[in-house]
Structure 1
Amino acid sequence: MSVSPTEMTDSEKLAALEKALLDESAGPIDLPISLLKTITGNFSKAREIGQGSYGVVYKGELPSGGTIAVKKLFPIAGMEDKHFKSEVEVACLVGVKQKHTVRLLGYCSEMQQVMISYHDEFLWANLQQRLLCFEYLPKGCLADYLSDASCGLPWTTRYQIIKGVCEGLHYLHQRRIIHMDLKPRNVLLDDNMTPRIADFSLSCRLSENQSWAISEDMVGTM
């Protein structure tokens, strides 16, 4: 008899996550926050590898020796749910075979009870925790490599990055997905300096009859 994802133990979920890291055909899996706390040292400051407008990214270390990136979204009222769903939905729509988009390995959405201070009293409150797990790309983001023509990356590598980003965008646009916040910090690089487009929290998916859309909210990077 097969076991449903919600009935799996933390150790079974960990095994599934380690398998997904090695198997590029595997889709994102639902993960418990207890497991993500374990692999990030309870979201230790020492494991922090980046921070953006909507969350903090931690390095998650697996028992097998593998490494993943765990993004913990900030609890921004009315926004975190939208950003969370956009990331997961785009990952499922894009699929796992596109080499120029970052792979989403897993996700977590759990309600927790936390103690908060309110008017000199301590109260229990419900806090929705939302996290996303991505493949870890050791070379960081493109923003770290931008320089003038006299130094920095060889031109062959620069061309490889430009071409890869264009191929990734073309793939997204063929699936009617607009990134909405493409910038050097959202282009990550693997060991071979192959670019991967990341952060689909603001992305927009057009319907079949749409060729454009007007955003009513001022979001993204100026």
Structure 2
Amino acid sequence: SSCEQVLEAKLCERVLKAKLLFLIFLTSGMIRARMATSPSHASASLTGIAQFSLSQLEAATNDFSEDSYVERGYYKGVLLHNGLDVVAAIKKFPVSNDLELQHELNIRAKLEHRNIVKLLGYAKVEKRLCFLVEEYMSNAKSLENIIINGMSSTSRLDWPSCFKIIQGIAKGLHYLHKKWVLYMDLKPNNILVRSDMDPVIINFGSSVVLDGDDDTISGDTLAGTL
């Protein structure tokens, strides 16, 4: 009956929220264990991360026009990357110094996974202002929006969809941990879900990398969402 379907949808949403909370606790709990056992590793190479100019970004987005604006501060544009025209998502990335930008690029340069948003390049415009150029995911919605509104006005989350989202987030976090990256900001608003219900983790502004022999964490502060 329709009443049973509504109850099932609400149950799936509550289960998804509970699973996400569990993943947040799991991620936070790994900090102490990995700080004690982190291996030595060299600084990440920036190979594969292109540097664009402001004029290239302006041309791609028609001077950051309203028509090119997507959401959440992102603009959509077509850029030449590795000899191919690619549709990219472009977002402002304020920094306090060059080390902060280098920290972000060092984290993102080595990440290549289906459930992690891919960084294509960056542009340094001013001393305290940069742009990040990421892969663009058409028809993707934030998990927060899906939890609140469902996939559409007539379709809400069912259990198979919840399971696929949870599984994809767990795979993405597992990959990050193998790279000694602590994400630190896991929440529904930082997860995009493709039309096939496969999730993608975005927004690495709070992430940190475990350093080598000195058992410390790179970055000035520890901050995140719990």
TM-score range relative to shorter protein: 0.5 to 0.7
**1:49 to partner: Cα distance:** 2.2
- Post-superposition CA distance 1:127-169 (Å, at most 9, x none): 65401111112212111101499x6222111111100100110
**Does structure 1 residue 90 correspond to structure 2 residue 91?**
no
CA distance in 2, matches of 1:67, 1:163: 27
Q: State the 1:174 CA deviation.
A: 1.3
1:212–1:156 distance in 2 versus 1, CA, 3 Å: farther
Q: How much has 1:28 moved relative to structure 2?
A: 2.1
Identify the match of residue 109 of structure 1 among 120, 124, 134: 124
Report the AA paired with residue 100 of structure 1: N
Distance in 1 between the 2:167 and 2:77 partners?
Answer: 30
Evaluate the alpha carbon distance shift between residue 45 and residue 86 of structure 1 in structure 2; reply closer, same or farther with a 3 A threshold. Answer: farther
Which residue does the alignment assign to 1:153? 157
Partner of 1:202 in structure 2? 206
**Is 2:90 the counterpart of 1:70?**
yes
In structure 1, stretches of 5+ residues that fail to align are: 1-25, 112-126
Equivalent residue pairs, number: 173
Question: 1:81 Cα deviation (Å)?
Answer: 4.6
Larger displacement relative to structure 2 (205-214 or 140-149): 205-214
**Structure 2 matches for 1:168-183, cutoff 5 A?**
168-183=172-187
Q: Distance in 2 between matches of 1:99 and 1:214?
A: 25
The match for 2:76 is 59
- Structure with the bigger RCO (C-alpha within 8 Å, sep 6+) is 2
Any idea what SS the aligned residue of 1:37 has?
A: helix
Tell me the distance in 1 between the aligned counterparts of 2:132 and 2:78.
15
| Alignment correspondent of 2:68 | 47
Alpha carbons of structure 1 residues 215 and 110: separation in structure 2 relative to 1, 3 Å = closer
1:137 maps to amino acid: M
What per-residue deviation string (whole Å, max 9, x for no partner) do you get for residues 81-135 of structure 1?
55533332112122x3x11100111111134xxxxxxxxxxxxxxx654011111
CA contact under 8 A between 1:83 and 1:202: conserved in structure 2? no
**Which of 47, 52, 55 is residue 34 of structure 1 equivalent to?**
55
1:187 equivalent in structure 2: 191
Question: Does the 8 Å CA contact 2:103/2:219 hold for their aligned counterparts?
Answer: no
Which runs of 5 or more structure 2 residues have no equivalent in the other structure? 1-46
4+ runs deviating over 6 angstroms: none
Q: Closer, same or farther in 2 for the Cα pair 1:62/1:31, shift >3 Å? A: closer
Over residues 167-192 of structure 1, what are the superposed CA-to-partner deviations in whole Å (9 max), with x where a residue is unaligned?
Answer: 11011111111011111111112342
C-alpha spacing 1:180/1:41, structure 2 compared with 1 (3 Å): same
* Higher fraction of helix: 2
- Give TM-score scaled by structure 2 length: 0.64
2:59 is matched by which residue type in structure 1?
T
CA RMSD of aligned residues (A): 3.2
With normalisation by structure 1, the TM-score equals: 0.65
